[in-house]
Amino acid sequence: MRHAIDLTLPRHSPPSTYTPTRSPSQIREEDDARGRDSHLLGLGQRGLLASQHLGYPAGRFCLGLMHPTSIHSAFSLAMEICVPRYRSFVGILVFLPWSLSVIALGGYGYLLRDWRWLMFTVCLPSLLFLPALWFIDESPRWLIVKGRHQEALRVLRRAAKWNKVKLPRDEELLTVMAEIQKEQEDGRSQGRASSSALVDHLRSAGNELIILFKTRRIRTLTLYLYVNYVVAGLVYYGLSLGGDKFGVDPFVYMSLSGAMEIPGSTLTIPMVDRMGRRPSNAICFFVTAAVLLVLGVIPTGIDWLVTTMALLGKLTIAAAYQVLSLQATELFPTEVRLRGLGTCSMMSKIGSISAPFLVEALGTIGSWAPLVLFGAAGFVAGVVTLRLPETRGTLMQDTVAGLEASGKTVKEKSAPLAQQEQYLEEKETLT
């Protein structure tokens, strides 16, 4: 008899795992319109006020709308202002608080069995985002793409002052910004014929929805990343919710699984720096696939080995998730970065939602069948990862048109902060 993973939601676990995420149109209308720093707030407290059964899922639905965007906004903001040499460190280590929160969540769930108090303790820290909004500058890349050049210039001046470096002249920077805005406008107006205002509005709305599939290169990247995010969500949440089948108390297992994510947030930093994003992520997916396949053939009665392999799988899939997020952020241009990350998160949730149903359906065949499926999916994700371009040491693209024109190299024109980043790199080398 083989060990199966129970992917049903435990009675005492926080029910936010499967809350819905934003649709592409919502991401366009709010994220791209308001910027990165205006979506760092959540709505989890609304669920606390629910006095009826329908009120609670309504509050969780609102949280599901806002939570992914707050994560992606903060992550994009951190990545967009980071020079290439520190991007691996920042992009991976930024997930360390997530690992610590998973550890704490196991303790909270053990001590606070009342769901209202549990919700209160896990949602209250989100209020710390409020004062942070007064100190966080908007992403200069986003400001440039949106044509707010003077605001971007002020942010760049402030950053240069803090870092004690001197930027090129304002005229030069404004010229580069104007070129980027023109490139974006030309790319969006390509193939657009004159028509009525209503038709133009409908066409614009449609283009916003399909921009991730509009051209060959961005379409290929989007589909590859979607496959990887579905697999990552499927395996990550499957292993996260299977503690009661591994001979461990579910609360203890939750904390242990969070602790296993810490190496995934630290050991992968030198890995992606030396090997690159693509091979590092492929290795993580391949190792995860091997662990799941081994887990499916371990006989009953060896609980310590089952738990060890499950936690090892949690470490590798967490590392794959983090490298994947770093890689996706570097691959999507600034123009569509939040939209791309938001839809990728939606695909991840599709994978996590599908896991319990797949386990139930395949469980009729054998307890080993779900693990074999998940292992095969991990192998496919590793192969797909090898098809993605390498982004180590490259400058982040800012427009879809620039991405299409760049081929496998990053043009300076398609990255409005390229001159500043290269200047800072040379300045640090000289000092």
SS3 helix, strand, coil % of the chain, rounded to 5? 75, 0, 25
pLDDT for 185: 66
pLDDT in tens, 121-161: 777 877 777 777 777 777 787 788 778 888 888 888 888 88
Hey, which of 224-233, 298-307, 333-342 has the most confident mean pLDDT?
224-233
Range scoring the smallest mean pLDDT among 193-202, 295-304, 317-326, 414-423: 414-423
pLDDT for 176: 82
Contact predicate 386/282, CB 8 Å: yes
Which of 105-110's residues contact partners 24+ apart within 8 Å by CB, and which partners? 105/14, 105/254, 105/255, 105/258, 106/251, 106/252, 106/253, 106/254, 106/255, 106/256, 106/258, 107/251, 107/255, 109/12, 109/13, 109/14, 109/251, 109/254, 110/251, 110/252
* Residue tagged 């081994």 (tokens): 294
pLDDT for 159: 82
- Contact partners, residue 229, CB within 8 Å, separation at least 6: 324, 328, 344, 345, 347, 348, 351
Strand partners, 299: 2
d(CA 99, CA 255): 9
pLDDT in tens, 175-233: 888 887 776 666 655 545 444 555 665 666 566 668 888 888 899 999 999 999 999 99
The mean pLDDT of 311-321, rounded to a whole number, is: 91
Reported as a pLDDT band with limits 50, 70 and 90, residue 245 is low
Range scoring the smallest mean pLDDT among 36-40, 92-96, 147-151: 36-40
d(CA 245, CA 428): 52
d(CA 111, CA 91): 33
Of residues 208, 77, 222, 210, the one with CA closest to residue 142: 77
For the cut 80, the answer to whether the pLDDT of residue 322 exceeds it is yes
Q: What's the N-to-C CA distance of the chain in angstroms? A: 64
The SS3 of residue 2 is: strand
Sign of torsion, CA 209 214 216 218?
negative
pLDDT for 90: 78
The mean pLDDT of 86-113, rounded to a whole number, is: 81
Both structure tokens of 224 = 């590859």
Query: What are the backbone dihedrals phi and psi of residue 93, each rounded to the nearest 5 degrees, phi first?
Result: -70, -20
pLDDT for 253: 83
Of residues 360, 358, 286, the one with CA closest to residue 320: 286
The mean pLDDT of 310-336, rounded to a whole number, is: 90
Mean pLDDT value across the chain: 75
What are the extents of the domains in the chain? 24-189+215-430
Of residues 393, 372, 374, the one with CA closest to residue 2: 372
Q: 25 or 406: which carries more pLDDT confidence?
A: 406
For the cut 90, the answer to whether the pLDDT of residue 282 exceeds it is yes
The region that residue 139 occupies, defined by phi over 0 for left and psi between -120 and 50 for alpha, beta otherwise, is: beta
Contact predicate 285/278, CB 8 Å: no
Secondary structure (H, E, C), 348-361:
HHHHHHHHHHHHHH
The SS3 of residue 299 is: strand
CA angle 327, 333, 338 (to 5 degrees): 80
Instruction: Identify each DSSP E strand in 158-224 by its residue range.
Output: none
Range scoring the smallest mean pLDDT among 3-7, 36-40, 139-143, 398-402: 3-7
Of residues 348, 406, 94, 66, the one with CA closest to residue 225: 348
The fold of the 24-189+215-430 domain, in CATH, is Growth Hormone; Chain: A; (1.20.1250)
Range scoring the smallest mean pLDDT among 79-88, 195-204, 340-349: 195-204
Q: Which amino acid is at 418?
A: A
Reported as a pLDDT band with limits 50, 70 and 90, residue 84 is confident
Reported as a pLDDT band with limits 50, 70 and 90, residue 46 is very low
d(CA 76, CA 330): 9
The region that residue 42 occupies, defined by phi over 0 for left and psi between -120 and 50 for alpha, beta otherwise, is: beta
pTM score, whole prediction: 0.71
Range scoring the smallest mean pLDDT among 47-51, 261-265, 391-395: 47-51
